A and B are shown apart, each in its own frame.
Chain A
Amino acid sequence: MKSNRVLLSILGWVIGFIIFFPILWMVMASLKTEIDAVATPPSFFFTPTLENYFVVQNRSNYLNYAWNSIVISVFATLLAILIAVPASYSFAFRPTKRTKFKLVWILSTKMMPPVGVLIPMYLFYKNMGLLDTHLGLILIYTLMNLPIVIWVLYTYFKDIPQEILEAAQMECDGLLKIFLYILLPLSKSAIFSTSLLSIVLIWNESFWSLNLTAFEAAPLTAFISSYSSPEGLFWAKLSAASTLAILPIMFLGWVTQKQMVKGLTLGAVK
């Protein structure tokens, strides 16, 4: 038994290292000179330099992109939660004959490749004046994440015994009170971890951000991609930009990892 556990933990560390390796490699590359970064065989020992970071900050305003990422991911998530909570409530506690169908239909929109609607969306955004605006990205990310947010919250709400809500119905006058005193306190951890998941998904999204923004509302994904340009690929600088881009979300992930894991395994274990 004991040797089994040792073996399992070694296996765990190995897999963990394999998953973590690209990030490690990226951080290392960001500290190299451009020549060291493309050297074959790759060099593991080098004199670290912060030069790339200075160049990146001088060439493009990192804080501008980071601010856009934060504004867009936070507001799109808030909006998605605001819509998803009542939607999931009605699916979970007031189901009709068509509830299953609606849920599957909502999820099916995630199966569609975004590129399929790129041109109509682009033209629509152009005509509405939403191109390269915060509002434009917030709206599309809200729509993009709604299916997942609704599903996760629905799964959680379904686990709340119906009788608890019925007892609340006997005692509180009005849905708002039931929501504030019973449903919200019971599901705050679910709402929190779903929000985190949504923020991460938006932070990493690049298709819409690259196609619908230029500079004003461009988030960090656009910041990274600006380093693979017609001028050529600069691995060290690209790595520095990428490291800067994932720093905030890595930090958020580290601080909230418990809730995050809870959210992702929601409903899996009762």
Chain B
Amino acid sequence: MGSINLVGVSKSFGDVLVIPSVDLEVNEGEFVVFVGPSGSGKSTLLRLIAGLEEVSKGRIEFNGQDMTNLAPAKRGLAMVFQSYALYPHMSVRENIGFPLKMASMPKSEIAAKVQEAAKILNLSEYLERKPRQLSGGQRQRVAIGRAIVRQPKAFLFDEPLSNLDAALRINMRLEIMELHQQLKTTMIYVTHDQVEAMTMADKIVVLDHGNIEQVGSPLDLYRAPDNLFVAGFIGAPRMNFLDGGEASRYNATTIGVRPEHVQISKSSGLWTGKVGVSEHLGSDTFLHVNVEGQQAPLTVRTDGEVQLNYGETIYLSPEEDKIHKFDNNGKAIR
């Protein structure tokens, strides 16, 4: 049904090379997340797959067939946009039914499909309303409904939750994951939020400056980042990086250790530091510790009940087997 293959895909806007060359395989039924900072080319890559941008070089294949120059509507993909992109002059019913009407489906069949989609998405009461009479979450559901009814080969999501408030975002995240479990359709999801990427993806594609930095399952990326960029991007709070003498002790240019892999002690340890500000989340506490000989403070994740005062001296020890080593090109040493 829906495997997607990118072969040497590159894109430039005028003289600006946005995506140098990307090879990527998306398997059928997979939930793939493109993640990266803004300007990393993740949205452009999605729009190339959708057909909204023309590929400068390379090939896009769906189930082994070349689709590089096919019109967007003929690719059989459905897209959900950040701004929902509902048609303001149509009711919810018309919005959801529109792609089917365009596919010349009989009216009775459209009505049945719209009902079904509305039921799945809890929109049955709102079918006669116009988009402007809906809340943000409801609008996003309509946009998803419009995508579902087409029974597409794959869903494309372009930062669909960015315009929602935090509580709603977590809800919709779960709804989209539930939807993927029910439909088992290929989904490609673009976000700049690494938490969304970690929680939703079967496979994460980390992008930076139009290059794929690493592809893997969320835990693969967490446990074994290929380079400094991925190490710093995946995981919250961010991984701590140390260089200079501390790093050369491990025969590396830079070493990284995640906040949750540092033990604290009041009596002894590998590194000595002074406690800076601490963030109490209840379940955890994030300590920012100024370690001697290091410019940036180290973040340490420790249990929620810890009581330490600002300026107090403490000792830190990294878990030896959880230390990530990087060479002078930023590549991981394994």
A binds B: yes
Residues of A within 8 A of B (CB): 97, 161, 163-164, 166-174, 177, 181-182, 185-186
Per the 8 Å Cβ criterion, residues 57-101 of B in contact with A are 71-74, 77-79, 81-83, 85-89, 98-99
B50 in the interface (beta carbon within 8 A): yes
B102 within 8 A of A: yes
* Chain A residues within an 8 Å CB radius of B73: 169-174
CB nearest neighbor in B for A182 = B87
A-binding residues in B (CB < 8 A): 14, 50-52, 71-74, 77-79, 81-83, 85-89, 98-99, 102, 146, 150
Which residues does chain B contribute within 8 Å of A181, judged by CB atoms? 98, 102
A11 CB to nearest chain B CB (Å):
36
Shortest distance from the beta carbon of B285 to any chain A beta carbon, whole Å: 42
A163 touches B85 (CB 8 A): yes
Chain A residues whose C-beta falls within 8 Å of the C-beta of B146 in the assembled complex: 167, 171
A171-B98 in contact (CB<8A):
yes
Residue on B nearest A161 in the bound complex, by CB:
B83
Interface of B is mostly: loop
The chain A residue with its CB closest to the CB of B71 is: A173
Question: Closest CB of chain A to B41's CB: distance in Å?
Answer: 18
Residue from A97, A161, A166, A171 in contact with B102 in the complex, judged by beta carbons closer than 8 Å: A171
Return chain A residues, CB-CB under 8 Å to B88: 164, 186
Contacting residues, chain A, for B99 (C-beta < 8 A): 171
Chain B residues within 8 Å of A177, by CB: 102
Task: Please pick, from A97, A166, A173, A186, the residue contacting B81 in the complex, using a CB distance under 8 A.
Answer: A166
Which residues of the partner chain A approach B71 to less than 8 Å between Cβ atoms?
169, 173
A-B pairs with beta carbons under 8 Å apart, 6 shown = A163-B81, A164-B87, A166-B52, A167-B86, A171-B99, A172-B102
CB distance from A265 to the nearest CB of B (A): 20
Known: A169-B52, A173-B71. A164 touches B98 (CB 8 A): no
Given contacts A161-B83, A163-B81, A186-B89, contact A169 B72 (CB under 8 A): yes
B85 touches A166 (CB 8 A): yes
**Contact at B79–A170, with CB atoms within 8 Å?**
yes
- What's the Cα separation between A182 and B102 when bound, in Å? 12
Additional 5 contacts, C-beta under 8 A, given A167-B86, A170-B50, A170-B52: A164-B86, A169-B71, A170-B51, A171-B102, A181-B102
On chain B, the residues within 8 Å of A163 by CB distance are: 81-83, 85
Name A167's closest neighbour in chain B (CB-CB): B85
Please name the 9 residue pairs, one residue from A and one from B, whose CB atoms are nearest each other, closest first.
A167-B85, A163-B85, A171-B99, A173-B73, A163-B81, A185-B89, A172-B102, A169-B72, A170-B72
